[in-house]
Amino acid sequence: MLRSEKRMLRRFTAAATAVLLAIALFPCFAFADTRTPDEMLPIPASESEAPADEDAPWLYYDMTEEEYYEEFEPWRAEGLTEDEYWEKYWAEYDENYEKELREYEREMRENALLEFGFTDTEALNVIINGKPLHFAGAKPLVRDGATMVPARAVLEALGAELRYDGKAKTVTAVADGTTVAFTAGERTVLVTKDGRTEKIETAAAPFIDAMTASAYVPLRALAESFGFEVYWDGYYKLADVVDKTAIVKEVDADFTVLNALMQSELSGKASEKSEKTVVNFTADLDARYNPDYYYTEDASGEIKGDASLKGAITLLTGSGAFDVTGNVSLTANGFEDLLGEIEQDAELRGMLEELKKGTSFDAIVNYEEFVAYLRLPILSYVEPLLDKKAWIEFQAEDDALIADFQAAVAEAKTLLANGEASTIGNLLYRNFAEYDYPRYGSASDFNRIERVRDFARFLEPFFGDAYMETSGNVHTISLNRLEIFNVLEKFAEEDEISFFTPSDYAEFLSSVPVANYTLRITDKSGAADSIELSLNAKIKQDYGYDEDDEYVEFHYDVAGDAQKARVDYSIIADMGPEVAGTFKLHADVVVSPTDKTPRTAPPAGSKIVSPDDL
Protein backbone atom coordinates (compact mmCIF):
# COMPACT_ATOMS: atom_id res chain seq x y z
CA MET A 1 0.00 0.00 0.00
CA LEU A 2 2.67 2.48 0.97
CA ARG A 3 4.80 1.60 -2.04
CA SER A 4 1.89 2.20 -4.42
CA GLU A 5 1.11 5.54 -2.72
CA LYS A 6 4.67 6.72 -3.30
CA ARG A 7 4.68 5.48 -6.88
CA MET A 8 1.40 7.29 -7.58
CA LEU A 9 2.75 10.48 -6.01
CA ARG A 10 5.96 10.31 -7.99
CA ARG A 11 4.00 9.80 -11.22
CA PHE A 12 1.78 12.70 -10.35
CA THR A 13 4.82 14.87 -9.53
CA ALA A 14 6.52 13.94 -12.81
CA ALA A 15 3.33 14.68 -14.82
CA ALA A 16 2.70 18.01 -13.07
CA THR A 17 6.35 19.05 -13.55
CA ALA A 18 6.09 18.29 -17.28
CA VAL A 19 2.97 20.45 -17.57
CA LEU A 20 4.66 23.33 -15.73
CA LEU A 21 7.76 23.11 -17.91
CA ALA A 22 5.61 23.11 -21.05
CA ILE A 23 3.88 26.28 -19.83
CA ALA A 24 7.25 27.89 -19.09
CA LEU A 25 8.71 27.01 -22.49
CA PHE A 26 5.64 27.73 -24.62
CA PRO A 27 6.29 31.46 -25.16
CA CYS A 28 9.83 30.76 -26.26
CA PHE A 29 8.88 28.13 -28.84
CA ALA A 30 5.55 29.60 -29.91
CA PHE A 31 7.07 32.86 -31.05
CA ALA A 32 10.57 31.75 -32.02
CA ASP A 33 11.49 31.92 -35.70
CA THR A 34 12.54 28.32 -36.30
CA ARG A 35 12.36 28.44 -40.09
CA THR A 36 15.23 27.22 -42.19
CA PRO A 37 16.77 29.67 -44.71
CA ASP A 38 14.76 28.09 -47.53
CA GLU A 39 11.54 28.38 -45.58
CA MET A 40 12.19 32.08 -45.04
CA LEU A 41 11.95 32.77 -48.78
CA PRO A 42 8.57 34.25 -49.81
CA ILE A 43 6.52 31.80 -51.85
CA PRO A 44 5.98 33.01 -55.42
CA ALA A 45 2.40 33.50 -56.64
CA SER A 46 2.85 30.35 -58.69
CA GLU A 47 5.33 27.66 -57.80
CA SER A 48 6.04 27.25 -61.48
CA GLU A 49 7.23 30.84 -61.70
CA ALA A 50 10.96 31.48 -61.48
CA PRO A 51 12.78 34.75 -60.79
CA ALA A 52 12.95 36.90 -63.91
CA ASP A 53 16.71 37.31 -63.56
CA GLU A 54 18.70 34.60 -61.79
CA ASP A 55 21.62 37.01 -61.45
CA ALA A 56 19.38 39.64 -59.77
CA PRO A 57 16.74 37.74 -57.71
CA TRP A 58 15.95 40.88 -55.68
CA LEU A 59 14.13 42.24 -58.69
CA TYR A 60 11.62 39.41 -58.50
CA TYR A 61 10.80 40.31 -54.87
CA ASP A 62 10.71 44.02 -55.61
CA MET A 63 13.69 44.66 -53.32
CA THR A 64 17.02 46.38 -53.55
CA GLU A 65 20.08 44.16 -53.62
CA GLU A 66 20.97 45.22 -50.07
CA GLU A 67 17.44 44.47 -48.80
CA TYR A 68 17.45 41.06 -50.46
CA TYR A 69 20.73 39.89 -48.93
CA GLU A 70 19.79 41.30 -45.51
CA GLU A 71 16.55 39.31 -45.60
CA PHE A 72 17.61 36.03 -47.19
CA GLU A 73 21.39 35.74 -46.85
CA PRO A 74 22.30 37.72 -43.73
CA TRP A 75 25.59 35.87 -43.29
CA ARG A 76 27.09 37.87 -46.16
CA ALA A 77 26.90 41.15 -44.19
CA GLU A 78 28.73 39.52 -41.26
CA GLY A 79 31.40 37.94 -43.43
CA LEU A 80 30.35 34.41 -42.41
CA THR A 81 29.49 31.25 -44.26
CA GLU A 82 25.92 30.07 -44.09
CA ASP A 83 26.81 27.26 -41.64
CA GLU A 84 28.78 29.65 -39.44
CA TYR A 85 25.89 32.11 -39.37
CA TRP A 86 23.30 29.55 -38.30
CA GLU A 87 25.63 28.06 -35.69
CA LYS A 88 26.06 31.54 -34.21
CA TYR A 89 22.32 32.25 -34.50
CA TRP A 90 21.27 29.15 -32.53
CA ALA A 91 24.00 29.65 -29.94
CA GLU A 92 22.67 33.16 -29.28
CA TYR A 93 19.12 31.83 -29.26
CA ASP A 94 19.98 29.21 -26.64
CA GLU A 95 21.80 31.80 -24.53
CA ASN A 96 18.84 34.21 -24.65
CA TYR A 97 16.43 31.39 -23.85
CA GLU A 98 18.44 30.41 -20.79
CA LYS A 99 18.46 34.03 -19.63
CA GLU A 100 14.69 34.33 -20.11
CA LEU A 101 14.08 31.06 -18.28
CA ARG A 102 16.26 32.11 -15.35
CA GLU A 103 14.43 35.45 -15.18
CA TYR A 104 11.07 33.70 -15.32
CA GLU A 105 12.04 31.37 -12.48
CA ARG A 106 13.42 34.28 -10.46
CA GLU A 107 10.14 36.18 -10.80
CA MET A 108 8.17 33.06 -9.97
CA ARG A 109 10.19 32.47 -6.79
CA GLU A 110 9.95 36.11 -5.81
CA ASN A 111 6.18 36.25 -6.28
CA ALA A 112 5.65 33.07 -4.27
CA LEU A 113 7.77 34.30 -1.36
CA LEU A 114 6.09 37.72 -1.33
CA GLU A 115 2.66 36.07 -1.48
CA PHE A 116 3.56 34.03 1.59
CA GLY A 117 4.66 37.09 3.55
CA PHE A 118 8.44 37.22 3.24
CA THR A 119 9.91 40.65 2.55
CA ASP A 120 13.46 39.72 1.51
CA THR A 121 13.20 37.28 -1.38
CA GLU A 122 16.97 36.94 -1.80
CA ALA A 123 17.68 36.03 1.81
CA LEU A 124 17.67 32.62 3.43
CA ASN A 125 14.17 32.33 4.94
CA VAL A 126 12.57 30.19 7.64
CA ILE A 127 9.01 28.89 8.05
CA ILE A 128 7.81 27.60 11.41
CA ASN A 129 4.52 25.69 11.50
CA GLY A 130 3.24 27.26 8.32
CA LYS A 131 4.12 30.87 9.17
CA PRO A 132 7.03 33.02 7.93
CA LEU A 133 9.60 33.89 10.59
CA HIS A 134 10.81 37.48 10.39
CA PHE A 135 14.24 38.42 11.77
CA ALA A 136 14.54 42.02 12.99
CA GLY A 137 18.33 42.28 13.09
CA ALA A 138 20.60 39.28 12.58
CA LYS A 139 19.68 37.11 9.61
CA PRO A 140 20.01 33.35 8.97
CA LEU A 141 23.08 32.20 7.07
CA VAL A 142 24.82 29.05 5.91
CA ARG A 143 28.07 27.92 7.53
CA ASP A 144 29.85 24.62 6.90
CA GLY A 145 26.80 23.40 4.99
CA ALA A 146 24.43 24.02 7.91
CA THR A 147 21.64 26.58 8.24
CA MET A 148 22.56 28.81 11.18
CA VAL A 149 19.88 30.97 12.77
CA PRO A 150 19.74 33.63 15.51
CA ALA A 151 18.78 31.57 18.55
CA ARG A 152 16.35 33.98 20.25
CA ALA A 153 14.01 34.53 17.30
CA VAL A 154 13.74 30.83 16.50
CA LEU A 155 13.36 29.66 20.10
CA GLU A 156 10.57 32.14 20.73
CA ALA A 157 8.76 30.91 17.62
CA LEU A 158 9.18 27.32 18.82
CA GLY A 159 7.78 28.23 22.22
CA ALA A 160 11.03 27.54 24.06
CA GLU A 161 12.69 29.53 26.84
CA LEU A 162 16.16 30.93 26.13
CA ARG A 163 18.92 31.15 28.73
CA TYR A 164 22.26 32.68 27.77
CA ASP A 165 25.45 32.53 29.84
CA GLY A 166 27.79 35.15 28.41
CA LYS A 167 30.72 34.06 30.53
CA ALA A 168 30.50 30.41 29.51
CA LYS A 169 29.20 31.33 26.07
CA THR A 170 26.40 28.77 26.31
CA VAL A 171 22.87 28.93 24.92
CA THR A 172 20.32 26.78 26.74
CA ALA A 173 16.78 26.22 25.43
CA VAL A 174 14.02 24.69 27.55
CA ALA A 175 10.56 23.52 26.42
CA ASP A 176 8.16 20.74 27.44
CA GLY A 177 10.66 19.00 29.70
CA THR A 178 13.46 19.02 27.13
CA THR A 179 16.69 21.00 27.59
CA VAL A 180 19.07 21.68 24.69
CA ALA A 181 22.48 23.23 25.45
CA PHE A 182 24.84 24.74 22.86
CA THR A 183 28.33 26.09 23.50
CA ALA A 184 29.91 28.58 21.13
CA GLY A 185 32.74 27.01 19.14
CA GLU A 186 31.77 23.42 19.99
CA ARG A 187 29.92 21.03 17.68
CA THR A 188 28.56 18.86 20.48
CA VAL A 189 24.99 19.60 21.59
CA LEU A 190 23.64 18.24 24.87
CA VAL A 191 19.98 17.18 24.83
CA THR A 192 18.41 16.26 28.17
CA LYS A 193 14.98 14.65 28.38
CA ASP A 194 13.39 12.56 31.13
CA GLY A 195 16.60 12.76 33.14
CA ARG A 196 18.74 11.32 30.35
CA THR A 197 21.36 13.36 28.45
CA GLU A 198 22.36 12.61 24.87
CA LYS A 199 25.25 14.11 22.90
CA ILE A 200 24.57 15.13 19.30
CA GLU A 201 27.27 16.15 16.84
CA THR A 202 26.39 19.02 14.48
CA ALA A 203 27.83 19.98 11.08
CA ALA A 204 28.63 23.52 12.24
CA ALA A 205 29.51 24.94 15.65
CA PRO A 206 27.36 27.66 17.29
CA PHE A 207 28.95 31.09 17.41
CA ILE A 208 28.42 34.65 18.66
CA ASP A 209 28.19 37.22 15.85
CA ALA A 210 30.55 40.10 16.69
CA MET A 211 28.50 42.75 14.85
CA THR A 212 25.04 41.94 16.23
CA ALA A 213 26.07 40.10 19.44
CA SER A 214 23.52 37.43 18.42
CA ALA A 215 24.04 33.79 19.29
CA TYR A 216 23.78 31.58 16.17
CA VAL A 217 22.85 27.90 16.46
CA PRO A 218 22.32 25.14 13.83
CA LEU A 219 18.59 25.13 13.02
CA ARG A 220 18.21 21.42 12.32
CA ALA A 221 19.86 20.30 15.55
CA LEU A 222 17.82 22.78 17.56
CA ALA A 223 14.44 21.99 16.00
CA GLU A 224 14.87 18.21 15.86
CA SER A 225 15.94 18.13 19.52
CA PHE A 226 12.47 19.48 20.38
CA GLY A 227 10.72 16.96 18.12
CA PHE A 228 10.17 19.14 15.05
CA GLU A 229 10.75 18.04 11.45
CA VAL A 230 13.03 20.21 9.29
CA TYR A 231 12.85 20.34 5.48
CA TRP A 232 15.25 22.29 3.27
CA ASP A 233 14.01 23.76 -0.03
CA GLY A 234 17.01 24.74 -2.14
CA TYR A 235 14.86 26.18 -4.94
CA TYR A 236 13.31 28.80 -2.66
CA LYS A 237 16.29 28.94 -0.24
CA LEU A 238 14.20 28.32 2.86
CA ALA A 239 13.96 25.95 5.79
CA ASP A 240 10.53 24.65 6.78
CA VAL A 241 10.16 23.64 10.43
CA VAL A 242 7.06 21.55 11.16
CA ASP A 243 5.58 20.15 14.35
CA LYS A 244 4.45 16.85 12.84
CA THR A 245 2.84 15.63 16.05
CA ALA A 246 0.71 18.76 16.31
CA ILE A 247 -0.52 18.85 12.70
CA VAL A 248 -1.32 15.12 12.67
CA LYS A 249 -3.24 15.52 15.92
CA GLU A 250 -5.07 18.55 14.50
CA VAL A 251 -6.18 16.64 11.40
CA ASP A 252 -7.06 13.43 13.23
CA ALA A 253 -9.40 15.32 15.55
CA ASP A 254 -11.76 15.74 12.57
CA PHE A 255 -11.70 12.08 11.47
CA THR A 256 -12.11 10.04 14.67
CA VAL A 257 -14.74 7.63 13.27
CA LEU A 258 -12.79 6.79 10.12
CA ASN A 259 -9.55 6.53 12.10
CA ALA A 260 -11.15 4.00 14.43
CA LEU A 261 -12.12 1.91 11.41
CA MET A 262 -8.64 2.13 9.91
CA GLN A 263 -6.99 1.16 13.17
CA SER A 264 -9.23 -1.88 13.57
CA GLU A 265 -8.61 -2.90 9.94
CA LEU A 266 -4.82 -2.48 10.12
CA SER A 267 -4.21 -3.81 13.62
CA GLY A 268 -1.74 -6.66 13.52
CA LYS A 269 -0.80 -6.12 9.86
CA ALA A 270 2.83 -5.63 10.84
CA SER A 271 3.03 -9.15 12.21
CA GLU A 272 5.20 -11.76 10.50
CA LYS A 273 2.29 -14.25 10.27
CA SER A 274 1.01 -15.27 6.86
CA GLU A 275 -2.33 -14.10 5.54
CA LYS A 276 -4.48 -15.42 2.72
CA THR A 277 -6.65 -13.21 0.53
CA VAL A 278 -9.08 -14.81 -1.91
CA VAL A 279 -10.73 -12.74 -4.63
CA ASN A 280 -13.52 -14.16 -6.81
CA PHE A 281 -14.50 -11.84 -9.64
CA THR A 282 -16.71 -11.50 -12.68
CA ALA A 283 -16.38 -8.86 -15.38
CA ASP A 284 -19.17 -8.54 -17.96
CA LEU A 285 -19.25 -6.43 -21.11
CA ASP A 286 -22.20 -5.83 -23.41
CA ALA A 287 -21.36 -3.38 -26.17
CA ARG A 288 -21.91 -2.17 -29.70
CA TYR A 289 -19.43 -0.26 -31.83
CA ASN A 290 -19.57 1.22 -35.31
CA PRO A 291 -16.10 2.45 -36.30
CA ASP A 292 -17.24 3.90 -39.65
CA TYR A 293 -20.45 5.67 -38.61
CA TYR A 294 -18.75 9.01 -38.03
CA TYR A 295 -17.67 9.10 -41.67
CA THR A 296 -20.49 7.22 -43.41
CA GLU A 297 -23.53 7.39 -41.08
CA ASP A 298 -24.12 3.81 -42.20
CA ALA A 299 -25.51 1.66 -39.38
CA SER A 300 -24.82 -1.60 -41.23
CA GLY A 301 -21.21 -1.68 -40.05
CA GLU A 302 -22.17 -2.08 -36.40
CA ILE A 303 -20.23 -4.62 -34.32
CA LYS A 304 -21.94 -5.87 -31.20
CA GLY A 305 -21.70 -8.66 -28.70
CA ASP A 306 -21.14 -9.61 -25.09
CA ALA A 307 -18.29 -11.12 -23.13
CA SER A 308 -17.74 -12.38 -19.61
CA LEU A 309 -14.47 -12.87 -17.77
CA LYS A 310 -14.58 -14.98 -14.60
CA GLY A 311 -11.77 -15.87 -12.30
CA ALA A 312 -10.31 -16.35 -8.85
CA ILE A 313 -7.10 -15.07 -7.32
CA THR A 314 -5.43 -16.27 -4.13
CA LEU A 315 -2.77 -14.08 -2.56
CA LEU A 316 -0.50 -15.34 0.23
CA THR A 317 1.47 -12.69 2.09
CA GLY A 318 4.09 -13.29 4.70
CA SER A 319 7.55 -12.33 5.83
CA GLY A 320 9.68 -11.45 2.83
CA ALA A 321 7.40 -12.52 -0.03
CA PHE A 322 3.97 -12.68 -1.55
CA ASP A 323 2.60 -15.44 -3.73
CA VAL A 324 -0.25 -15.21 -6.25
CA THR A 325 -2.13 -18.03 -7.95
CA GLY A 326 -5.16 -17.59 -10.13
CA ASN A 327 -7.34 -18.77 -12.95
CA VAL A 328 -9.51 -17.00 -15.48
CA SER A 329 -11.91 -18.00 -18.27
CA LEU A 330 -13.64 -16.10 -21.05
CA THR A 331 -16.96 -16.52 -22.81
CA ALA A 332 -17.84 -14.29 -25.76
CA ASN A 333 -20.76 -13.97 -28.17
CA GLY A 334 -21.07 -11.72 -31.20
CA PHE A 335 -18.22 -9.40 -32.14
CA GLU A 336 -18.08 -11.47 -35.36
CA ASP A 337 -15.78 -9.18 -37.31
CA LEU A 338 -13.34 -8.79 -34.43
CA LEU A 339 -13.33 -12.50 -33.56
CA GLY A 340 -13.05 -13.33 -37.28
CA GLU A 341 -9.83 -11.32 -37.52
CA ILE A 342 -8.47 -13.11 -34.44
CA GLU A 343 -9.29 -16.49 -35.98
CA GLN A 344 -7.10 -15.61 -38.97
CA ASP A 345 -4.06 -15.25 -36.69
CA ALA A 346 -2.78 -18.56 -35.33
CA GLU A 347 -1.16 -17.02 -32.25
CA LEU A 348 -4.18 -14.94 -31.30
CA ARG A 349 -6.49 -17.85 -32.03
CA GLY A 350 -4.51 -20.05 -29.66
CA MET A 351 -4.64 -17.44 -26.91
CA LEU A 352 -8.40 -17.03 -27.37
CA GLU A 353 -9.01 -20.77 -27.21
CA GLU A 354 -6.86 -20.99 -24.08
CA LEU A 355 -8.93 -18.25 -22.43
CA LYS A 356 -12.20 -19.93 -23.39
CA LYS A 357 -11.05 -23.25 -21.88
CA GLY A 358 -9.74 -21.48 -18.80
CA THR A 359 -6.14 -20.66 -18.03
CA SER A 360 -4.11 -20.30 -14.87
CA PHE A 361 -1.31 -17.99 -13.82
CA ASP A 362 1.20 -17.63 -10.98
CA ALA A 363 3.36 -14.83 -9.64
CA ILE A 364 5.95 -14.83 -6.88
CA VAL A 365 7.69 -11.74 -5.49
CA ASN A 366 10.59 -12.35 -3.13
CA TYR A 367 11.39 -8.88 -1.85
CA GLU A 368 14.18 -10.05 0.45
CA GLU A 369 16.21 -11.23 -2.55
CA PHE A 370 14.49 -8.69 -4.84
CA VAL A 371 13.49 -11.17 -7.52
CA ALA A 372 10.11 -11.92 -9.09
CA TYR A 373 8.76 -14.84 -11.11
CA LEU A 374 5.80 -15.02 -13.48
CA ARG A 375 4.11 -18.05 -15.04
CA LEU A 376 1.59 -17.12 -17.72
CA PRO A 377 0.73 -20.13 -19.93
CA ILE A 378 -1.16 -17.99 -22.44
CA LEU A 379 2.15 -16.43 -23.50
CA SER A 380 3.31 -19.79 -24.90
CA TYR A 381 1.27 -19.07 -28.05
CA VAL A 382 3.34 -15.99 -28.92
CA GLU A 383 6.74 -16.88 -27.46
CA PRO A 384 8.44 -20.04 -28.77
CA LEU A 385 10.84 -20.30 -25.79
CA LEU A 386 7.98 -20.53 -23.32
CA ASP A 387 5.93 -23.60 -22.60
CA LYS A 388 2.90 -23.59 -20.33
CA LYS A 389 4.95 -24.55 -17.28
CA ALA A 390 7.83 -22.11 -17.81
CA TRP A 391 8.54 -19.23 -15.44
CA ILE A 392 9.95 -15.84 -16.39
CA GLU A 393 12.47 -14.49 -13.86
CA PHE A 394 12.80 -10.75 -13.23
CA GLN A 395 15.95 -9.96 -11.29
CA ALA A 396 16.47 -6.39 -10.09
CA GLU A 397 19.98 -5.11 -10.72
CA ASP A 398 19.61 -1.46 -9.74
CA ASP A 399 21.12 -1.15 -6.27
CA ALA A 400 19.42 2.20 -5.67
CA LEU A 401 16.01 0.72 -6.58
CA ILE A 402 16.59 -2.25 -4.30
CA ALA A 403 17.61 -0.01 -1.41
CA ASP A 404 14.58 2.22 -2.01
CA PHE A 405 12.19 -0.74 -1.99
CA GLN A 406 13.71 -2.32 1.09
CA ALA A 407 13.51 1.02 2.91
CA ALA A 408 9.83 1.33 1.93
CA VAL A 409 9.09 -2.17 3.27
CA ALA A 410 10.89 -1.41 6.53
CA GLU A 411 9.03 1.90 6.81
CA ALA A 412 5.69 0.19 6.21
CA LYS A 413 6.34 -2.34 8.94
CA THR A 414 7.40 0.38 11.37
CA LEU A 415 4.38 2.54 10.62
CA LEU A 416 1.97 -0.36 10.98
CA ALA A 417 3.60 -1.52 14.20
CA ASN A 418 3.39 2.00 15.67
CA GLY A 419 -0.13 2.64 14.39
CA GLU A 420 1.11 5.63 12.37
CA ALA A 421 -0.22 4.24 9.08
CA SER A 422 -3.73 3.95 10.44
CA THR A 423 -4.84 7.57 10.77
CA ILE A 424 -5.88 10.15 8.19
CA GLY A 425 -3.50 12.69 9.73
CA ASN A 426 -0.47 10.45 9.28
CA LEU A 427 -1.45 9.45 5.74
CA LEU A 428 -1.90 13.05 4.66
CA TYR A 429 1.31 14.14 6.34
CA ARG A 430 3.32 11.39 4.71
CA ASN A 431 1.88 12.10 1.25
CA PHE A 432 1.73 15.90 1.25
CA ALA A 433 4.42 17.08 3.65
CA GLU A 434 7.30 14.66 3.27
CA TYR A 435 7.77 15.13 -0.47
CA ASP A 436 8.74 18.09 -2.63
CA TYR A 437 5.98 19.20 -4.98
CA PRO A 438 6.10 20.68 -8.51
CA ARG A 439 6.77 24.41 -8.72
CA TYR A 440 3.67 26.41 -9.55
CA GLY A 441 5.04 29.76 -8.40
CA SER A 442 2.79 29.99 -5.34
CA ALA A 443 3.21 29.56 -1.58
CA SER A 444 1.74 26.05 -1.79
CA ASP A 445 5.04 25.01 -3.43
CA PHE A 446 6.83 25.05 -0.09
CA ASN A 447 4.22 25.44 2.67
CA ARG A 448 3.98 21.79 3.64
CA ILE A 449 1.77 22.22 6.66
CA GLU A 450 -0.86 24.08 4.63
CA ARG A 451 -0.83 21.36 1.97
CA VAL A 452 -1.81 18.88 4.68
CA ARG A 453 -4.55 21.18 5.97
CA ASP A 454 -5.83 21.84 2.43
CA PHE A 455 -6.33 18.17 1.65
CA ALA A 456 -7.83 17.54 5.07
CA ARG A 457 -10.39 20.28 4.40
CA PHE A 458 -11.19 18.72 1.05
CA LEU A 459 -11.68 15.24 2.56
CA GLU A 460 -13.72 16.39 5.55
CA PRO A 461 -17.14 16.63 3.81
CA PHE A 462 -16.68 13.07 2.52
CA PHE A 463 -15.18 11.40 5.61
CA GLY A 464 -15.15 13.88 8.51
CA ASP A 465 -16.97 13.64 11.85
CA ALA A 466 -18.68 17.04 11.44
CA TYR A 467 -20.61 15.80 8.39
CA MET A 468 -21.71 12.51 9.94
CA GLU A 469 -25.17 11.75 11.26
CA THR A 470 -25.05 9.17 14.04
CA SER A 471 -27.87 6.82 14.93
CA GLY A 472 -26.94 4.24 17.52
CA ASN A 473 -23.72 2.65 16.30
CA VAL A 474 -24.12 3.73 12.68
CA HIS A 475 -22.41 6.86 11.30
CA THR A 476 -23.59 8.11 7.89
CA ILE A 477 -22.59 10.83 5.44
CA SER A 478 -24.92 11.45 2.49
CA LEU A 479 -24.21 14.10 -0.15
CA ASN A 480 -26.41 14.90 -3.12
CA ARG A 481 -25.35 16.44 -6.40
CA LEU A 482 -25.47 20.07 -5.22
CA GLU A 483 -23.72 19.32 -1.93
CA ILE A 484 -20.89 17.54 -3.73
CA PHE A 485 -20.37 20.42 -6.10
CA ASN A 486 -20.62 22.99 -3.32
CA VAL A 487 -17.58 21.30 -1.80
CA LEU A 488 -15.71 21.36 -5.11
CA GLU A 489 -16.68 24.94 -5.90
CA LYS A 490 -15.61 26.15 -2.45
CA PHE A 491 -12.32 24.39 -2.96
CA ALA A 492 -11.86 26.18 -6.29
CA GLU A 493 -12.80 29.59 -4.86
CA GLU A 494 -10.19 29.25 -2.14
CA ASP A 495 -7.64 28.33 -4.82
CA GLU A 496 -6.50 25.35 -2.83
CA ILE A 497 -4.58 22.75 -4.86
CA SER A 498 -7.27 22.93 -7.53
CA PHE A 499 -6.79 22.83 -11.28
CA PHE A 500 -10.26 24.23 -12.04
CA THR A 501 -11.83 27.64 -11.63
CA PRO A 502 -15.30 28.25 -10.14
CA SER A 503 -16.68 28.83 -13.65
CA ASP A 504 -15.32 25.43 -14.70
CA TYR A 505 -17.23 23.80 -11.87
CA ALA A 506 -20.41 25.71 -12.73
CA GLU A 507 -20.22 24.45 -16.30
CA PHE A 508 -19.43 20.94 -15.12
CA LEU A 509 -22.38 21.00 -12.71
CA SER A 510 -24.80 21.62 -15.57
CA SER A 511 -23.46 18.54 -17.35
CA VAL A 512 -23.95 16.24 -14.32
CA PRO A 513 -27.67 15.66 -13.76
CA VAL A 514 -27.09 12.88 -11.22
CA ALA A 515 -24.49 12.57 -8.45
CA ASN A 516 -24.82 10.88 -5.06
CA TYR A 517 -22.33 9.88 -2.39
CA THR A 518 -22.96 7.79 0.73
CA LEU A 519 -20.56 6.62 3.43
CA ARG A 520 -21.77 4.41 6.28
CA ILE A 521 -19.52 3.20 9.11
CA THR A 522 -20.78 0.78 11.76
CA ASP A 523 -18.98 0.28 15.04
CA LYS A 524 -19.27 -2.49 17.60
CA SER A 525 -17.99 -2.48 21.17
CA GLY A 526 -16.69 1.06 20.73
CA ALA A 527 -14.51 0.20 17.71
CA ALA A 528 -15.39 0.76 14.06
CA ASP A 529 -16.22 -2.58 12.46
CA SER A 530 -17.44 -2.19 8.89
CA ILE A 531 -17.79 0.32 6.08
CA GLU A 532 -20.11 0.85 3.13
CA LEU A 533 -19.35 3.39 0.42
CA SER A 534 -21.45 4.26 -2.61
CA LEU A 535 -20.80 6.77 -5.38
CA ASN A 536 -23.05 7.25 -8.41
CA ALA A 537 -22.84 9.84 -11.18
CA LYS A 538 -24.31 10.46 -14.61
CA ILE A 539 -22.42 12.77 -16.92
CA LYS A 540 -23.82 14.23 -20.12
CA GLN A 541 -21.66 13.92 -23.22
CA ASP A 542 -21.79 15.73 -26.53
CA TYR A 543 -20.67 13.62 -29.48
CA GLY A 544 -22.62 15.62 -32.06
CA TYR A 545 -25.68 13.40 -32.31
CA ASP A 546 -28.33 13.85 -29.62
CA GLU A 547 -26.87 15.49 -26.53
CA ASP A 548 -29.88 14.62 -24.34
CA ASP A 549 -29.37 10.91 -24.97
CA GLU A 550 -25.58 10.83 -24.80
CA TYR A 551 -24.11 10.12 -21.39
CA VAL A 552 -21.72 8.09 -19.26
CA GLU A 553 -23.02 6.70 -15.97
CA PHE A 554 -20.82 5.40 -13.14
CA HIS A 555 -21.78 3.27 -10.14
CA TYR A 556 -19.33 2.27 -7.43
CA ASP A 557 -20.26 0.34 -4.30
CA VAL A 558 -18.01 -1.28 -1.73
CA ALA A 559 -18.88 -2.83 1.62
CA GLY A 560 -16.91 -4.91 4.08
CA ASP A 561 -14.76 -5.25 7.14
CA ALA A 562 -11.32 -6.59 8.00
CA GLN A 563 -12.25 -10.16 6.96
CA LYS A 564 -14.47 -9.76 3.90
CA ALA A 565 -15.54 -7.21 1.33
CA ARG A 566 -17.77 -6.84 -1.69
CA VAL A 567 -17.01 -4.54 -4.61
CA ASP A 568 -19.36 -3.60 -7.46
CA TYR A 569 -18.38 -1.24 -10.23
CA SER A 570 -20.26 -0.47 -13.41
CA ILE A 571 -20.15 1.92 -16.35
CA ILE A 572 -23.14 2.47 -18.61
CA ALA A 573 -22.42 4.55 -21.69
CA ASP A 574 -24.37 5.78 -24.68
CA MET A 575 -22.25 7.89 -27.01
CA GLY A 576 -24.63 7.91 -29.94
CA PRO A 577 -24.57 5.56 -32.94
CA GLU A 578 -20.83 5.01 -32.65
CA VAL A 579 -20.44 3.45 -29.18
CA ALA A 580 -22.75 2.20 -26.44
CA GLY A 581 -22.48 -0.48 -23.81
CA THR A 582 -22.38 -1.63 -20.24
CA PHE A 583 -19.42 -2.87 -18.22
CA LYS A 584 -19.90 -4.47 -14.81
CA LEU A 585 -17.33 -5.76 -12.35
CA HIS A 586 -18.19 -7.71 -9.21
CA ALA A 587 -15.64 -9.03 -6.72
CA ASP A 588 -15.88 -10.83 -3.40
CA VAL A 589 -12.83 -10.62 -1.14
CA VAL A 590 -12.12 -12.82 1.88
CA VAL A 591 -9.08 -12.34 4.13
CA SER A 592 -7.99 -14.89 6.73
CA PRO A 593 -4.88 -15.97 8.66
CA THR A 594 -3.12 -19.08 7.41
CA ASP A 595 -0.33 -21.44 8.43
CA LYS A 596 0.73 -21.73 4.80
CA THR A 597 3.73 -19.60 3.86
CA PRO A 598 4.18 -17.92 0.47
CA ARG A 599 6.54 -19.44 -2.06
CA THR A 600 9.82 -17.59 -2.53
CA ALA A 601 10.78 -19.33 -5.81
CA PRO A 602 9.24 -21.72 -8.38
CA PRO A 603 9.25 -25.45 -7.59
CA ALA A 604 12.57 -27.24 -7.97
CA GLY A 605 13.24 -28.38 -11.53
CA SER A 606 11.02 -25.73 -13.11
CA LYS A 607 12.06 -24.21 -16.42
CA ILE A 608 13.12 -20.59 -15.76
CA VAL A 609 13.88 -18.09 -18.53
CA SER A 610 15.08 -14.50 -18.52
CA PRO A 611 13.15 -11.70 -20.26
CA ASP A 612 16.36 -11.00 -22.22
CA ASP A 613 16.00 -14.41 -23.88
CA LEU A 614 12.48 -13.78 -25.11
Residue 461 backbone class (left: φ over 0; alpha: ψ -120 to 50; beta: rest): alpha
pLDDT for position 548: 55
Is 247 a residue whose pLDDT tops 70? yes
Domain boundaries, the chain: 125-242, 257-613
Is 283 a residue whose pLDDT tops 50? yes
Mean pLDDT of 568-594: 91
Neighbours of 156 (CB within 10 A): 13
604 membership: H or E segment, kind and range: none
Per the CB < 8 A criterion, the answer to whether 125 and 149 are in contact is no
pLDDT for position 357: 92
Measure the CA–CA gap between 51 and 516, rounded to whole angstroms: 71
Per the CB < 8 A criterion, the answer to whether 475 and 257 are in contact is yes
Task: Give the pLDDT confidence of 310-364 residue by residue, as tens digits.
Answer: 999 999 988 788 899 999 999 988 876 666 667 777 888 888 888 999 999 999 9
Ramachandran angles phi, psi of 469, nearest 5°:
-105, 130
Measure the CA–CA gap between 301 and 292, rounded to whole angstroms: 7
For the chain, the distance separating the N- and C-terminal CA atoms, rounded to the nearest angstrom, is: 31
Give the whole-number percent of the chain exceeding pLDDT 90.
45
Is 104 a residue whose pLDDT tops 70? yes
Neighbours of 489 (CB within 10 A): 21
Measure the CA–CA gap between 394 and 403, rounded to whole angstroms: 17
Domain 125-242 part of CATH 3.30.457.10: yes
Per-residue CA distances from 476 to 154, 487, 566 (Å):
45, 17, 19
DSSP 3-state of 485: helix
Please, which residues bridge with residue 582 across strands?
A: 286, 572
Measure the CA–CA gap between 488 and 474, rounded to whole angstroms: 26
Neighbours of 188 (CB within 10 A): 12
Top mean pLDDT of 124-133, 300-309, 415-424 is at 124-133
Mean pLDDT of 600-605: 93
Mean pLDDT of 493-513: 64
Measure the CA–CA gap between 419 and 427, rounded to whole angstroms: 11
Greater pLDDT, 12 or 255 = 255
